[in-house]
Chains A and B, each alone.
Chain A
Amino acid sequence: MSVPDYMQCAEDHQTLLVVVQPVGIVSEENFFRIYKRICSVSQISVRDSQRVLYIRYRHHYPPENNEWGDFQTHRKVVGLITITDCFSAKDWPQTFEKFHVQKEIYGSTLYDSRLFVFGLQGEIVEQPRTDVAFYPNYEDCQTVEKRIEDFIESLFIVLESKRLDRATDKSGDKIPLLCVPFEKKDFVGLDTDSRHYKKRCQGRMRKHVGDLCLQAGMLQDSLVHYHMSVELLRSVNDFLWLGAALEGLCSASVIYHYPGGTGGKSGARRFQGSTLPAEAANRHRPGALTTNGINPDTSTEIGRAKNCLSPEDIIDKYKEAISYYSKYKNAGVIELEACIKAVRVLAIQKRSMEASEFLQNAVYINLRQLSEEEKIQRYSILSELYELIGFHRKSAFFKRVAAMQCVAPSIAEPGWRACYKLLLETLPGYSLSLDPKDFSRGTHRGWAAVQMRLLHELVYASRRMGNPALSVRHLSFLLQTMLDFLSDQEKKDVAQSLENYTSKCPGTMEPIALPGGLTLPPVPFTKLPIVRHVKLLNLPASLRPHKMKSLLGQNVSTKSPFIYSPIIAHNRGEERNKKIDFQWVQGDVCEVQLMVYNPMPFELRVENMGLLTSGVEFESLPAALSLPAESGLYPVTLVGVPQTTGTITVNGYHTTVFGVFSDCLLDNLPGIKTSGSTVEVIPALPRLQISTSLPRSAHSLQPSSGDEISTNVSVQLYNGESQQLIIKLENIGMEPLEKLEVTSKVLTTKDGISVSGFPLSSPFRQVVRPRVEGKPVNPPESNKAGDYSHVKTLEAVLNFKYSGGPGHTEGYYRNLSLGLHVEVEPSVFFTRVSTLPATSTRQCHLLLDVFNSTEHELTVSTRSSEALILHAGECQRMAIQVDKFNFESFPESPGEKGQFANPKQLEEERREARGLEIHSKLGICWRIPSLKRSGEASVEGLLNQLVLEHLQLAPLQWDVLVDGQPCDREAVAACQVGDPVRLEVRLTNRSPRSVGPFALTVVPFQDHQNGVHNYDLHDTVSFVGSSTFYLDAVQPSGQSACLGALLFLYTGDFFLHIRFHEDSTSKELPPSWFCLPSVHVCALEAQA
C-alpha cells in the first residue's frame, strides 16, 4: 500500500467502502451527477433504527490498497456500483461483460455490486434483476436513492453475517491468520501449532471482529473486542497489528466522544445527511440507552465507561500505535494516516502543540518516491492541517511549498494557474492583504522579507500564467507597499520589470476580479512621487477677479433687510474656514502647486500628472515631469481649466509612473499638508494682454506700492526728453470686453521732479470685441525734471480695470497694472536767470546761464535764437529777447479746484501756470547730436518774483500815437517844423478793477548823447493847448484816450517824456504799471 488517503479521519473506521465507477463511455458530467446523488445516501439506519451504517463512497480506489482490507476493514471495498450508458439492446451483453470485468478487480472483497444502466429501453429492462437497474436517461431516475438504500441493506446483511460468523467462532476450529500483504512471505514455514502462533491468530481475529462490529454500528462490542485484541497482541509482540488494534480503540473512542466528527466539512456533511441525527447522537451518550431501556444487556452498559478511552488516553494510544507502525517501513501509509487522524482529533480538542508534534512526525514519514502531483497534494494537506490547528504561518509555509511544487522544473507542464491560486491562499498566513489602503496608515506591520518574497512569486506566477494585468497589479503593490524595504538595486530592478510589463499591458485603476472571488483593488502610486504639500494657487495678479463694491452692497441688501448683521458675518467666517478666500475663473488656467519628492535612487519620470476634481467640470491639463534621484522637495504645478462655475474641490491627482495609471486621493495620503482644497469658480471674464512699445523690464516697483504690477516698463531719459509709449491691449480671452477704465497714479516724485502728461485726460470707456487687435491707447509720457546732477527715478502705475461677459453681470472685474519706471538723468540746466529791459516796453531780454551737465556736446536753441553749442560741463550765457507776458489773461486753470485750495496753493498753481506759459513761449530745446537725442529745457523752477515781474506785461496798456502812428522806443516819428503834431495817449485797462482818473504831463527834452538831457525847450517846442492831459477813470477792460498837439519850431531830435502827476497815481498800483513808452520825434525842415 503506497497511496495515502490524506482525507482520512477516525470516523472512517466505521464506514463501509463503496466504489462507484463508470463503465464504458460515460460523460464526466453525467457520472458526477449520479455520483453526487449516490453520495447523499451515506447513512442508513438498520434494524429498527438501533444501528446506523455509514458508507464512504470513492470513485477511484487503488486495488493495492484493497489488499490491506483485512488489516483495517474500512480499507476493504465491499460494494461496487458501476454506471454505464447503453443505448441499444445489441450492446447490452458487452456492457454486462464489462461490469463483470470491473467486479473482478475488487472481486475478493466485494459483498455485493450493482450496475446502473442509463438509456436502455425494451424487453431487457422488463426482466426483474436485483443487481442491475435500468433508467431511460439521467433525468428520469428518481429511484436511484432507493436502490442504493436497498443495496446498502444487502451489504449490511453480508456484513452482519460475517461479523456473527467470526464473533461466535470461538470453538476449537483453527483460526486463520490474517495478514497484510508484505507479511505473507514471513510466515512461510512457521509452526502453526505453537501457542504463540495461536495467540497471534486470535489477537488478529479479535481486532478484525472489532472492525466489523464498528462498521456494523456496534460501538460497545467493538471496544470490547479491541481491548481483548490489544491484550493478546501485546503478549506476542505483534507490533503492527497491536498498533492497528490500538488505533481501532482510538477510532471507536473518538466516534463515541465526538459524534460531530473530526473530519471537518466531510464529517459535518455526513452528519447533516443523517436521517436521525438526534438519535444517532443520543446513541453514543452514556445513559441514553438506560433511559430508553432498550438494551436488555446491562453488562455491556457497565463495561462502557471502562472500555471507552478518555480524550487524553486517545492521544496516548495514538502515539503508541504510531510508534509501532513506525517499526515497519511498509506501513508508512498507515502511520501517516494515523498521524493525520490524530491531528484531526487534537484539533477538535484544541491541543495545537501536540497536534503540531504529530504533524511534524508526519512530515518526516518517508514514503516511496512521490510523484510531483502527490507531493503537491501532500503539502496542501499539511497546510490545511496546520490551518486546522491554528498555525497559520506554518500553513502558509507549506501552501507556498505546494505552490512551488506545482511549477517545479521537473514538471513538463508547470501548473502556473494552480501555483498562483495556492500562493493567493497563503496571503493571510503572511498577514498580507492586497489592498494598499491597509498599508497607508502608519508604518508597515508585517514580516517584510517574506511578504516581499511572496509578492515576487505572485508576480512571476501571474506572468507565467499569461495574465500581465495581474503581474502589473502585484508588482505595483510590491513597489508601493514595500518601498521602504527594497534596496536601491531592488528598486531599480522592480521598476525596470514593471516598465517591461506595462509596455504590453498598462496598469489601470480598475479592480481585478479573480476567479476565486478575490478582488484585487487598484494600487495608486502615492509614494512615487511622495507628495508632501498641496496648495491651490491664486490667479496671477493681472487675472485675479475682484468684486465690484457697489454690487456687493446690493447683494447683501437683497439677502437681508439689515445693512449690517452680525449673524451673516459669523456665517461667512465659518465658510471661510473651509473655503479658500480667492476665486478661480471659468475658462482660465488655474494652478495647484504640489511639493513632491522622489524616493527612488534614479530619475523618476512621472507622466500624465493631472488633477482630480469634483463639483465643477474641469479640464485637466496633464504635465510630465522628471524628478532627479532622491530629490528633495520639488515644486510641481498642475494646471487645468474649469469649464463651468460653482465650487470646485481638488480631490487628488493622477499620474502615470512606469506605465501604471494611479488616482491618488488626498484623503488617503498620510502626512500631507493642505491649505484647503475647495475654491469657488466664478463666471468667465475677458482677459487682456498688454504689450508696450518699450521693452519690458525685470525691474519691479517698490513693494510699498500696494498694487501688484503685472508688467513693468523701464526707460532711461535725459531731463527734458520726451518718450512716447504705445500700450497695446489685446483681449485674448473668449469673452467680449464690455468695460474698460483707465486710471493712473504716480508713486514717487522726489524733490524737484515734476511730471507732465499724467494723468490721462479722463477715464474713458471703450468696447473692444474679442480677438480684435488692441487699440493703441495714447500715451502719457513726458517727464521733466529740474534737478541737477544725479540720476532721479520716477515711478508710476497705470491701472486698467476691465470686465465683460458673464463675469461682468456677476459683478466681477479684473485689474491690469502697468508699472512705469523712469530714470531721469540730468541734461542742461540754468544756473542763473536775469532780465534786461529791451528797447520796447512790450519786450525784454532774458539772460540765461546754461550749464551742460551731460558728458556729450550738446546744442541749445530757442524758438528765436541761433543754436548755442555747449561742450560737456560748459556753462554759457545766452540772451533771449522775449515778448512780455500777459499772465492775467490766463484762465485760472484748473479753475474748479482753485475754489477749494488755500491761497498759498493758489499762488503756487498760478506760478506754475506762468512757468508753463513762459516755457512754451521760449521753447528752449537741447540736442545731443552724438546720441541723436533731444529734449526741452525749462526755466520754470528758476523764475523768481523779480524776474517774473520783469517779464510781466503791465495790466494798464499805454499806447502813444504821434500823428495817428503808434510810437515806441525804436520807431522815430517824423514831423515837419511848424506843423502841429497830434499826440494821442490811449489807456487800455486789462486789470480787474477800474483805474484812474490820471493826469499826465508831456515833457519834451533833447538828448545830447553825452548824458545831458536838455529840458529847457520852451523856445523850440510849443504846446497846442495844455501840456497836461487828463484821463477819466477806466473800467476793467475799458479804453480811454486823451488828445493833445505839439508844435516843433526848430528841426532836431526830440524826445517826449510822458509823466504822471504825483497826486493822480494810485498808490496801491505798482509803478511798473505806469510805464509809458517814450516818444522819439524827429522834426524836419518844412518842405518848401
Chain B
Amino acid sequence: MAVCIAVIAKENYPLYIRSTPTENELKFHYMVHTSLDVVDEKISAMGKALVDQRELYLGLLYPTEDYKLCRYGYVTNSKVKFVMVVDSSNTALRDNEIRSMFRKLHNSYTDVMCNPFYNPGDRIQSRAFDNMVTSMMIQVC
C-alpha cells in the first residue's frame, strides 16, 4: 500500500526513490520533493527535542492532497530522510503500522551503510534494500 518510498540525503537529493510502476514516476518525484518543505520545517521546529527524545518519526506530512495519498516522513540521526507516500483510499493505516514500516526501512538502510563498498552519498543500488522496499509496497495491496 505504500505507493512510493524515497530515501533522501542530508543535502536533499534522492538516494533512492521507487514508486509503483503503473503511475507517472515524475509525479511522485514532485510529491516527495515538495514534502521536503514540511520535513525541513518539522526538523527545524523540533530542533533539540528531536535529538533528546530519539523520536525519528515525523508523522503525517501532507494529509489530503490529490489522489488521497498521504505522505509520512522519518528522519535519521544523520539527517537522512525517508518519505513514504501511502494510498489511504482503501485502508486507513494506524500510526503504529507506519512507524514499524519506517523502522524496517531504517534497519535496511543501516545494512546498506554497513556495506564497505557503498559510498555514502551515492545512489543506493543494493538488491537487499530493493527487495525490502518491494515487499513493503506489495505487503498490503
Kindly list chain B residues whose C-beta atoms are within 8 Å of the C-beta of A919.
none
Number of interface residues of A (CB under 8 A): 24
Would you give the shortest CB distance from B73 to chain A, in whole angstroms?
A: 12
Among B7-15, B82-90, B103-111, the stretch that binds chain A is B7-15
The answer, among B26, B38, B45, B65, for a CB contact under 8 Å with A391, is B38
A558 CA to B37 CA, complexed, in Å: 72
Taken together as a complex, chains A and B put the C-alpha atoms of A364 and B64 apart, in Å, by 10
Q: Smallest CB–CB gap between A887 and chain B, Å? A: 88
A360 at the interface (CB under 8 A from B): yes
- Give chain B residues whose Cβ lies under 8 Å from the Cβ of A360: 62-65
Cβ contacts A365-394/B at 8 Å (1 or 0 each):
000000000000000000000100011111
Chain A residues within 8 Å of B14, by CB: 447-449
Q: Decide yes or no whether A1009 CB sits under 8 A from chain B.
A: no
Q: Which residues of B contact A447 (CB under 8 A)?
A: 12-14, 29, 33
B13 contacts A397, C-beta separation under 8 Å: no
Q: Are B30 and A450 closer than 8 Å at their CB atoms?
A: yes
Q: How far is the CA of A356 from the CA of B41 in the complex (A)?
A: 11
Q: Is the CB of A353 within 8 A of B42?
A: yes
CB distance from B15 to the nearest CB of A (A): 11
Pick the residue among A430, A444, A449 that contacts B26 (CB under 8 A).
Answer: A449
Is the CB of B76 closer than 8 A to any CB of chain A?
Answer: no
A745 proximity list for chain B (CB < 8 A) = none
Range for the number of chain B residues in contact with chain A: 20 to 34
Determine which residue in B41, B42, B45 has the highest number of CB atoms from chain A within 10 A of its CB, and name it: B41
Report how far A393 CA is from B13 CA in the complex, Å. 13
Q: Determine whether the beta carbon of A393 is less than 8 Å from that of B26.
A: no
When distances are taken between beta carbons in the complex, the residues of chain A under 8 Å from B37 are 356, 386, 390-394
For residue A443, CB closer than 8 A to chain B, the reply is yes
Task: Identify which of A352, A391, A431, A449 contacts B12 (C-beta below 8 A).
Answer: A431
Distance between Cα atoms of A596 and B15 in the complex (Å):
30
Given contacts A443-B121, A447-B14, A450-B29, contact A352 B36 (CB under 8 A): no
> Chain B, 75-108, contact with A by CB distance < 8 Å: what is the 0/1 string?
0000000000000000000000000000000000
Encode contact with B along A1042-1082: 1 for CB under 8 Å, 0 otherwise.
00000000000000000000000000000000000000000
Chain B proximity mask over A440-457: 1 for CB below 8 Å, otherwise 0? 000111111110010000
Q: Is the CB of B41 within 8 A of A393?
A: no
Whether a CB of chain A sits under 8 angstroms from the CB of B34 is: yes
Interface flags, A343-372, vs B, CB<8A=1, else 0: 000000000110010001001100000000
Would you call the interface of chain A mostly helix, strand, loop, or mixed?
helix
- Chain A residues whose CB sits within 8 angstroms of the CB of B33 once the complex forms: 393, 397, 430, 447, 450
Quote the shortest CB–CB distance from B123 to chain A (angstroms).
10
Chain A residue contacts of B25, Cβ below 8 A: 449
- Minimum distance in angstroms from B117 CB to a CB of chain A: 17
Given A445-B11, A449-B26, A449-B29, answer yes or no on A393-B36 (Cβ-Cβ < 8 Å): yes
| Contact yes or no, B42 A397, CB < 8 A | no
Contact A353 B34 (CB under 8 A): no
Chain A residues whose C-beta falls within 8 Å of the C-beta of B121 in the assembled complex: 443
Interface-centre pick from B33, B45, B64 (highest chain A CB count, 10 A): B33
Closest B residue to A398 by CB, please name it.
Answer: B34
What residues of chain B lie closer than 8 Å to A363, measured between beta carbons?
65
Q: Given A353-B42, A449-B14, do A393 and B34 touch, yes or no (CB 8 Å)?
A: yes
CB of B87 to closest CB in A, whole Å = 18
B11 to chain A, nearest CB (A): 5
* 8 Å CB contact of A353 from B12, B38, B64: B38
Closest to A353 in B: B41
Residues of B within 8 A of A394 (CB): 34, 37
Chain A, 216-269, CB within 8 A of any chain B CB: none
The distance in angstroms between the C-alpha atoms of A479 and B42, with both chains bound, is: 35
Residues of B contacting A392 in the complex (Cβ-Cβ under 8 angstroms): 37
Given A447-B14, A448-B13, A449-B14, decide whether A397 and B41 contact each other with a Cβ distance below 8 A.
no
What residue in chain B is nearest A357 (Cβ atoms)?
A: B63
Residue of chain A at shortest CB distance from B35: A393
Once A445-B11, A447-B13 are accepted as A-B contacts, the answer to whether A397 and B30 lie under 8 Å apart by CB is: yes
Interface string of B1-29 (1 = CB under 8 A from A): 00000000001111001000000011001
Distance in angstroms between the alpha carbons of A397 and B36 in the assembled complex: 12
Most B CB within 10 A of own CB, among A364, A392, A431, A447: A447
Contact (Cβ within 8 A) A453 B26: yes
Name the A residues within 8 Å of B13 (CB-CB).
Answer: 444-448
- A352 CA to B62 CA, complexed, in Å: 13
Q: Which residues of A contact B42 (CB under 8 A)?
A: 353
Residue numbers in B under 8 Å from A450 (CB-CB): 26, 29-30, 33
Q: Which residue of B lies closest to A443 (CB)?
A: B121
Chain A residue, CB-CB nearest to B39 = A393
**Across-interface contacts of A364 in B (CB, < 8 A):** 64
Q: Which residue of A lies closest to B25 (CB)?
A: A449
User: Complex formed: what's the CA distance from A397 to B37 in Å?
Assistant: 11
Cα A360 to Cα B62 with chains together (Å): 9
Which residue of chain B has the shortest Cβ distance to A361 in the bound complex?
B64
Knowing A393-B36, A394-B34, A446-B13 touch, does A352 contact B29 (C-beta < 8 A)?
A: no
Bound complex: CA A900 to CA B38 (Å): 100
Closest CB in chain A relative to B96 CB, distance in Å: 23
B29 contacts across to A, CB distance below 8 A: 447, 449-450, 453
Closest Cβ of chain B: how far from A399's Cβ, in Å? 12
- The residue of chain B having its C-beta at the shortest distance from the C-beta of A448 within the complex is B13
Rounded to whole Å, the gap between the CB of B47 and the closest CB of chain A is 13
| Residue of chain B at shortest CB distance from A356 | B38
Look across to chain B and name the residue whose beta carbon is closest to the beta carbon of A442: B121
Compute how far the CA of A390 lies from the CA of B43 in the bound complex, rounded to whole angstroms: 14
Contacts of B63 in A (CB 8 A): 360
Give bound CA distance, A450 to B41, whole Å.
21
A360 to B71, CA, bound (A): 14
Cα-based distance from A430 to B13 in the complex (angstroms): 10
- Alpha-carbon gap, A386 to B41, bound state (A): 12
What is the CA–CA distance of A397 and B27 in the complex, to the nearest angstrom? 11
Across the interface, which residues of B come within 8 angstroms of A356, CB to CB? Answer: 37-38, 41
CA distance A446 to B13 in the complex (A): 5
A447–B38 alpha-carbon span in the complex (Å): 16
**A360–B30 CA distance with the chains assembled, in angstroms:** 16
Residue of B whose beta carbon sits closest to that of A400: B30
CA distance A221 to B38 in the complex (A): 40
CA distance A502 to B94 in the complex (A): 56
* Residues in chain B near residue A448, CB distance under 8 A: 13-14
Closest partner residue, chain B, to A391 (CB atom): B37
In Å, the complex CA distance between A397 and B11 comes to 19
**Complex-state Cα separation, A447 to B12, whole angstroms:** 7
**Contacting residues, chain A, for B64 (C-beta < 8 A):** 360, 364
Give B28's nearest chain A residue, CB to CB.
A449
Task: State in angstroms the CA–CA spacing of A447 and B42 once bound together.
Answer: 20
| Cα distance, A431 to B62, chains bound together (Å) | 22
- A739 CB, min distance to chain B CBs, angstroms: 63
Query: Complex Cα distance A235/B89, Å?
Result: 38
Are B41 and A391 in contact, with the CB atoms below 8 A? yes
With a CB–CB cut-off of 8 A, which chain A residues contact B34? 391, 393-394, 397
- A991 to B42: give the CA distance in the assembly, Å: 123
Q: How far is the CB of A1067 from chain B (nearest CB, A)?
A: 101
Cα–Cα, bound, A698→B37 (Å): 70
Q: In the complex, which residues of chain B have a beta carbon less than 8 angstroms from the beta carbon of A449? A: 14, 17, 25-26, 29
Set of chain B residues within 8 Å of A445, measured between Cβ atoms:
11, 13
Q: How far is the CA of A546 from the CA of B13 in the complex (A)?
A: 57
Chain A residues proximal to chain B, CB less than 8 Å: 352-353, 356, 360, 363-364, 386, 390-394, 397, 430-431, 443-450, 453
Known: A353-B45, A386-B37, A445-B13. 9 other contacts (CB 8 A): A363-B65, A390-B37, A391-B37, A391-B41, A393-B34, A431-B12, A446-B12, A446-B13, A449-B25
Binding site for A on B (CB under 8 A): 11-14, 17, 25-26, 29-30, 33-34, 36-38, 41-42, 45, 62-65, 121
A–B Cβ pairs within 8 angstroms, 10 of them = A356-B38, A360-B63, A364-B64, A430-B33, A431-B12, A447-B33, A448-B13, A449-B26, A450-B26, A450-B33
Nearest 3 pairs between A and B by C-beta?
A391-B37, A449-B29, A394-B34
